[in-house]
């Protein structure tokens, strides 16, 4: 008995003794090994799915659901996809988070007794995809595992398509949220009954059995993978929890890939202290990778990612999500960018890099023996460009570029091998043949010559047969279904010789075969089969030969990606007129004429730049001003300038000086988190609590209008306490915006707090935003004027103005309620509504004004 328990099989009990066909028994046996995956079972020219797999696939892929045979007296549901189009369907399934097992026919139907032997040859899950058609070229595709012990949370993630393997250990669960937000794993492995499941629910989670999360098992797998006796070089003592997660990853990869992973040659041990920390809220509020609506439009990455190749685009996203903290590596990036600008190298480098293929992912497919002929062709083209790249970089002597030049060294032997082996513009698949170049292999050339001569022989046979029979419409032909044949028109078919055996009847012609032609066909097809088999063998050995250069190719990919990012940042600095920030050991944050990089890029008019200065003696700016006056923009641009500086990029300012900064915190905007049952105020307080507990004197903190979600006095008290705590206890660099004007007296009590405000003025009763940051505090919020701009009805605004005056004079609110007039329309307004001002002459307009003046006064 086979018990299938999965979401796809509804615990169906399948007895092998029940009357299933041998083919269906084979299917059920294979399916039992992959209960949680969709099984695509090859049958001729189709991949078929059965039972609940068929039902699910028909819904996901809009397939027609049919039936084949019966099980327990019920029809067996069936759906299928053509084998030649399977990649398109796989892409759709992977995007929906499904895992798929591909079952191929590996036996010979001609010699098989019973069902053709079949075997699962390929397993595809969202986190283990390597096929180009199934991947987003500009996004990492990560498989991540999480393990927790009493003290720490261990993370391990692998980019199978890029050959990168990383470890990280955390101490708090909110750090896990930040890392998952940064990494965005395509698939996440978690131990059954893990308390961390609630933090991982936003990602595709695969629950794994507890025995996979054992250190001894992990150590054995990792030592085998990296050919070492112990893991001391891989953080055995400092990263024990993460190593357990790494072992789980390897176990899962062995199950799904069913082969060695030669491109995973080392593990990168990440240390949070080496990077500027960005929690999940900060990544969201600063709109680094996507806007509030969830699209990339108008995000920071959308304006700085002008990379030439997909490897560079992926690396830039990694840099942006993991800004450096230590000044030395940042300054090395700055120096490289400065040199590229100074030597005017960006245009030629960009031109060359646009011709570069995705070496990183092609190398991974070579390692996994799934590279296609065009992968090798494009790789060869890239190798041919390396001497030109070296020449283009010639005079750039910056430290980082000098290191990259070593990665970009030509590989002449490999290039020569690829040039000799692969034809120009080869077919997509090796099974199509015609991939290996002539002259590369003598045996293949001889087999191909037989096919070439066969065509000449066929022409000769056709001429002979025409002369022998005297049939003018006679001609020889070939197709993949009928093979070789002799074709005669209907009018001459009755004259066909006796030794012509009818093969096919069509509307206007008859097709025949002769013993001689049959013998010829067998010779030709035998040569073609042998040639294709030889070509496949040569291709497999070519991949093995290229694998000997895996390390050099991985370094090449790394060097090309870094060069692309540095070139892009240089081009962006020039195009946007950004400047190189100065990094100093002293505690300060100084920005001269800073701008918001995204808003400036989108604006049609000139962006109003503003200065900022913070140091230990004055570390808090208390910001007041009207809504829409630019407070949030000013705060966000400060954070983005700091972030770009730690990226190694130039920044949107005429000058900037930064001391040591360890984290950026933001508490900007808020909305209900309905899924977690949290109100707007609860979200606001949770984010504020995280800041107050984790910020240090080297952190940059942005807090925008805290306390809005509760009563006025509660909110004011919380804002007061938070501001003073940041000023006196944490002493972080802080931008604190508020509409509580009572807080503007804080600088009198704590000199480290300084008032600034965003300017605005009234012009004929309407508010005008000036967007300039000036010393001192704003004298009003202009809330009612902003409400008028938003379209609040006039009657409501009148009530609001009356209430405001009463509250400002201290009278009870009940006395401030005006009588709402009954709605009526004045004669003047009625007449104006019927006029077309574009058709009035100046004289007619003047007459109207005098006439209205003489009319009885009407309150309009």
Kindly report, residue by residue over 554-566, the tens digit of the pLDDT. Answer: 999 999 999 999 9
Residue 432 counted as domain residue: no
* pLDDT of 278: 95
Contact 104, 83 (CB under 8 A): no
Per-residue pLDDT of 97-109, as tens digits, reads: 899 999 999 887 7
Residue 673 has pLDDT above 80, yes or no: no
Based on the fold, state whether residues 850 and 781 are members of the same structural domain: no
Question: Does residue 803 lie in a domain region?
Answer: no
Say whether 627 counts as a known binding-site residue: yes
Same domain flag for 675 and 526? no
Average model confidence (pLDDT) across the chain: 89
Tell me the CATH number at 263.
3.30.420.110
In the beta sheet, which residues pair with residue 502? Answer: 512
Over residues 557-585, the mean pLDDT reads: 98
Model confidence at 825, pLDDT cuts 50, 70, 90, reads low
338 assigned to some structural domain:
yes
632 is annotated as contributing to ligand binding: yes
CB 858 within 8 A of CB 827: yes
Question: How far apart are alpha carbons 227 and 212 in whole angstroms?
Answer: 21
Domain of 591 in residue numbering reads as 582-789
Burial of 218 (0-12, 13-18, 19+ CB in 10 A): buried
Co-location of 764 and 835 in the same domain: no
Q: In which band, very low, low, confident or very high, does the pLDDT at 810 lie, cut at 50, 70 and 90?
A: low
Residue 826 has pLDDT above 80, yes or no: no
Indicate whether 603 and 734 sit together in one domain: yes
Burial class (CB in 10 A: 0-12, 13-18, 19+), 197: middle
At 192, phi and psi to the nearest 5? Answer: -60, 140
The domain total for the chain is 6
CB 254 within 8 A of CB 224: no
State the pLDDT at residue 817: 45
Please check whether residues 195 and 118 belong to one and the same domain: no
Q: What is the mean pLDDT of residues 311-328?
A: 98
In this predicted structure, the answer to whether residue 860 has a pLDDT above a threshold of 70 is: no
What confidence category does residue 258 fall into, taking pLDDT thresholds of 50, 70 and 90? confident
Cβ of 297: how many Cβ atoms within 10 Å? 10
Q: Is 631 annotated as a binding residue?
A: yes
Is residue 628 marked as binding? yes
Task: Assign residue 534 the CATH number of its domain.
Answer: 1.10.1420.10
Q: Give 456's pLDDT tier (boundaries 50, 70, 90).
A: confident
| Residues 801-810, mean pLDDT to the nearest whole number | 80
pTM to 2 decimals? Answer: 0.86
517's tokens: 């032609």
Torsion angles phi and psi, residue 608, rounded to 5: -80, 110
Q: What is the pLDDT of residues 172-192, one digit of tens each?
A: 888 999 999 999 999 999 999
Share of the chain above pLDDT 90, in %: 67
Single out the residue in 767, 789, 811 at which a domain terminates: 789
Q: How many other C-beta atoms can be found within 10 angstroms of the C-beta atom of residue 499?
A: 10
The DSSP code for 678 is: B
pLDDT in tens, 374-433: 999 999 999 999 999 999 998 899 999 999 999 999 999 999 999 999 999 999 999 889
Residue 854's pLDDT band (boundaries 50, 70, 90)? low
According to the model, what pLDDT value does residue 56 have? 95
| 609 shares a domain with 533 | no
pLDDT (tens digit per residue) in 594-653: 999 999 999 878 999 999 999 999 999 999 998 889 999 999 999 999 999 999 999 999
pLDDT in tens, 788-799: 888 889 888 888
- Which residues are 484's β-sheet partners? 478
Please check whether residues 661 and 770 belong to one and the same domain. yes
Lowest-confidence region among 151-160, 375-384, 522-531, 804-813: 804-813
Distances (CA, A) of 644 to 323, 522, 634: 8, 68, 15
Contact between 580 and 656 under an 8 Å Cβ cutoff? The reply is no
What was the pLDDT predicted at 820? 42
Within a domain: 184: yes
Is-contact 78 96, C-beta < 8 A?
A: no
Any known ligand binding at 7?
A: no
Do 396 and 332 share a structural domain? yes
Please tell me which of 625-634, 729-738, 761-770, 839-848 the model is most confident about, judged by mean pLDDT.
Answer: 729-738
Q: Is residue 842 part of a domain?
A: yes
Question: DSSP per residue over 577-619, as a string?
Answer: T-BPPEE-SSS-EEEEEE--HHHHHH-SS----EEEEEBTTB-
Structure tokens of 278? Answer: 């960005």
Q: Are 598 and 747 members of one domain?
A: yes
Say whether both 631 and 767 belong to one domain: yes
Same domain, 622 and 739: yes
Q: Does residue 796 sit within a domain?
A: no
Question: Is position 453 within any domain?
Answer: yes
Q: Helices 310-321 and 359-367 meet at what angle, rounded to 10? A: 100
What's the count of helices (H) and strands (E) in the chain, helices before strands?
28, 29
Percent of residues, the chain, with pLDDT higher than 70 = 92
- Looking at residue 641, what is its pLDDT? 99
Please list the helix, strand and coil fractions of the chain in percent, rounded to the nearest 5, in that order.
Answer: 45, 20, 35
pLDDT at 107: 83
Residue 801 lies in a domain: no
Contacts of 759 (CB under 8 A, 6+ apart): 625, 629, 769, 770, 771, 772, 773, 774
Q: pLDDT value at position 455?
A: 80
Q: Is 60 exceeded by the pLDDT of residue 813?
A: no
Backbone dihedral angles phi then psi of residue 125, each to the nearest 5 degrees: -125, 165
- The answer on 66 and 201 residing in a single domain is no
| Six token digits for residue 578 | 């950004």
As a whole number, mean pLDDT of residues 236-259 equals 92
Q: Among the three residues 252, 270, 288, which one is the final residue of a domain in this structure?
A: 270
- Residue 13 has a pLDDT of 46
Q: Among 741, 755, 778, which residue's Cα sits nearest to residue 618?
A: 755
Assigned token pair, 186: 């395509």
> Does residue 480 surpass a pLDDT of 90?
no
Q: Bigger pLDDT: 228 or 832?
A: 228
Query: Of 98, 124, 150, which marks where a domain is finished?
Result: 124
Asked whether the beta carbons of 755 and 624 are under 8 A apart, the reply is yes
Q: Annotation-wise, does 626 bind a ligand?
A: yes
For position 637, which CATH number holds? Answer: 3.40.50.300
How far apart are the C-alpha atoms of 729 and 533, rounded to whole Å? 75
- Retrieve residue 448's tokens: 């191909």
User: Considering only 128-137, 276-285, 516-525, 719-728, which range has the smallest mean pLDDT?
Assistant: 516-525
Determine the pLDDT at residue 834. Answer: 67
pLDDT at 569: 98
On whether the CB atoms of residues 715 and 706 are closer than 8 A, the answer is yes
The residue that leads in pLDDT, 293 or 153, is 153
* 254's tokens: 């062995």
Tell me the average pLDDT across 577-583: 98
Of the candidate ranges 205-219, 235-249, 700-714, the one whose mean pLDDT is the lowest? 700-714
**Cα–Cα dist 336/233, whole Å:** 31
Least confident piece of the model among 10-24, 430-444, 585-599: 10-24
- At residue 450, the pLDDT reads 82
Span 801-812, average pLDDT: 76
Q: What is the spatial distance between Cα 478 and Cα 486, in angstroms, rounded to a whole number?
A: 9
């Amino acid at each position: 008995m086979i018990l299938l328990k999965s979401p796809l099989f509804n615990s169906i009990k399948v007895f092998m003794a029940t009357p299933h066909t041998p083919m269906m028994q084979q299917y059920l046996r294979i399916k039992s090994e992959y209960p949680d995956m969709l099984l695509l079972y090859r049958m001729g020219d189709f991949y078929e799915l059965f039972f609940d797999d068929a039902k699910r696939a028909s819904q996901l892929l809009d397939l027609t659901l049919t039936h084949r045979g019966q099980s327990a007296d019920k029809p067996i549901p069936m759906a299928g996809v053509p084998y030649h189009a399977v990649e398109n369907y796989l892409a759709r399934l992977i995007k929906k988070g499904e895992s798929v097992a591909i079952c191929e026919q590996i036996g010979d139907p001609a010699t098989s007794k019973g069902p053709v032997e079949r075997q699962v040859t390929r397993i595809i899950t969202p986190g283990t995809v390597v096929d180009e058609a199934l991947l987003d070229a500009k996004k990492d595709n990560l498989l991540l595992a999480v393990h927790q012990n009493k003290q720490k949370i261990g993370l391990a993630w692998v980019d199978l398509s890029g050959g990168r393997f990383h470890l990280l250990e955390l101490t708090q669960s909110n750090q896990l949220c930040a890392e998952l937000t940064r990494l965005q794993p395509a698939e996440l492995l978690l131990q059954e009954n893990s308390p961390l499941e609630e933090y991982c629910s936003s990602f595709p989670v695969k629950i794994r059995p507890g025995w996979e999360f054992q250190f001894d098992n992990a150590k054995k797998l990792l030592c085998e993978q990296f050919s070492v006796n112990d893991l001391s070089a891989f953080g055995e003592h400092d990263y024990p929890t993460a190593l357990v997660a790494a072992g789980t990853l390897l176990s899962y990869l062995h199950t799904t890939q069913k082969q060695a992973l030669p491109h995973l040659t080392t593990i990168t041990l990440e240390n949070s202290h080496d990077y500027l920390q960005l929690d999940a809220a900060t990544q969201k509020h600063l709109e680094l990778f996507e806007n509030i609506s969830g699209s990339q439009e108008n995000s920071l990455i959308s304006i700085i990612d002008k990379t030439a190749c997909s490897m560079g685009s992926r690396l830039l996203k990694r840099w942006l999500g993991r800004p450096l903290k230590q000044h030395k590596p940042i300054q090395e990036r700055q120096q490289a960018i400065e040199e590229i600008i100074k030597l005017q190298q960006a245009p030629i480098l960009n031109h060359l890099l646009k011709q570069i293929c995705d070496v990183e992912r092609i190398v991974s497919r070579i390692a996994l023996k799934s590279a296609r002929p065009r992968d090798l062709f494009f790789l060869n083209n890239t190798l041919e460009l390396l001497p030109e790249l070296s020449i283009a970089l010639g005079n750039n002597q910056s430290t980082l570029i000098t290191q990259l030049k070593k990665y970009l060294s030509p590989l002449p032997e490999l290039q020569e091998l690829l040039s000799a082996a692969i034809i120009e513009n080869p077919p997509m698949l090796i099974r199509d043949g015609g991939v290996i170049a002539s002259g590369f292999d003598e045996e293949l050339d001889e087999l191909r010559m037989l096919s070439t001569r066969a065509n000449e022989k066929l022409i000769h046979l056709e001429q002979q047969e025409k002369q022998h029979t005297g049939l003018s419409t006679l001609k020889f032909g070939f197709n993949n279904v009928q093979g070789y044949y002799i074709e005669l028109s209907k009018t001459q078919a009755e004259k066909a010789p006796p030794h012509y055996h009818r093969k096919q009847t069509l509307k206007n012609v008859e097709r025949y075969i002769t013993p001689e032609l049959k013998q010829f066909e067998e010779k030709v097809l035998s040569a073609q089969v042998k040639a294709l088999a030889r070509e496949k063998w040569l291709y497999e050995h070519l991949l093995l030969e290229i694998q000997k250069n895996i390390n050099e190719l991985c370094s090449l990919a790394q060097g090309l990606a870094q060069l692309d990012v540095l070139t892009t940042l240089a081009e962006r600095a020039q195009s946007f007129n950004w400047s190189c920030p100065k990094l100093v050991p002293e505690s300060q944050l100084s920005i001269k004429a800073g701008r918001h990089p995204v808003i400036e890029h989108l604006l049609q008019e000139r962006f109003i730049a503003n200065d900022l200065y913070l140091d230990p003696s004055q570390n808090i700016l208390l910001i007041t001003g009207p809504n829409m006056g630019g407070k949030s923009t000013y705060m966000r641009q400060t954070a983005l300038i700091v972030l770009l500086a730690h990226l190694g990029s130039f920044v949107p300012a005429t000058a900037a000086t930064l001391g040591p900064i360890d984290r950026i915190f933001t508490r900007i905007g808020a909305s209900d988190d309905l899924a977690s049952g949290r109100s707007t105020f609860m979200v606001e307080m949770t984010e504020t609590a995280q800041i107050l507990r984790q910020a240090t004197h080297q952190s940059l903190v942005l807090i925008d209008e805290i306390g809005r979600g509760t009563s006025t006095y509660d909110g004011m008290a919380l804002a007061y306490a938070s501001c003073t705590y940041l000023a006196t206890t944490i002493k972080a660099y802080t931008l604190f915006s508020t509409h509580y004007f009572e807080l503007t007296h804080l600088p009198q009590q704590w000199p480290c707090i300084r008032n600034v405000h965003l300017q605005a003025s009234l012009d004929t009763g309407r508010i005008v935003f000036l967007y300039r940051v000036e010393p001192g505090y704003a004298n009003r919020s202009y809330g009612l004027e902003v409400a008028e701009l938003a379209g609040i009805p006039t009657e409501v605004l009148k009530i609001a103005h009356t209430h405001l005056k009463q509250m400002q004079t201290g009278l009870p609110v009940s006395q401030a309620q005006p009588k709402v007039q009954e709605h009526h329309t004045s004669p003047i307004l009625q007449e104006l509504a019927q006029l077309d001002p574009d058709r009035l002459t100046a004289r007619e307009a003047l007459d109207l004004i005098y006439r209205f003046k003489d009319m009885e006064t009407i309150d309009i």
